[in-house]
Amino acid sequence: MNTRLQPLREFMYSYHRLALDVFTDNADGSRKLISEGLAGLKPVRDYNPSAILLIAFFDSKATELTNMFKQGAPQVKQQAYATLTALDPSNTDKYSQILR
């Protein structure tokens, strides 16, 4: 296994098991966990911007991430928008809904 993709694998686990599973009970905590995990994906994107797992994740989760962060505090929304557009520029139009 490629160890440079380890942050992506760890994020996928924490996103689904630790954040989504408790989102209805603790939305702010889940958003924080997701934000931290997204920030940790920068080295993966820098190493291989065309990693199929990274592309597939954002293609399938862009709408979900947008809807999650639309409800956050202004500072959280701004940070999420900046991180998401840096990691996934192809969905910038979709992520712009976070700031509205």
Q: How confident is the model over 11-20, as pLDDT tens digits? A: 999 999 999 9
The identity of residue 37, as a single letter, is G
The count of other CB atoms within 10 Å of the CB of residue 10 is 13
On the question of pLDDT at 1 being above 90, the answer is no
Distance CA 84, CA 71 (A): 16
Given pLDDT bands bounded at 50, 70 and 90, which one contains residue 97? very high
Q: How high is the pLDDT of residue 4?
A: 87
pTM of full prediction above 0.85: yes
Say how far residue 48 (Cα) sits from the centre of its chain.
Answer: 17
Q: Which pLDDT tens digit goes with each residue over 65-85? A: 999 999 999 999 999 999 999
The identity of residue 41, as a single letter, is L
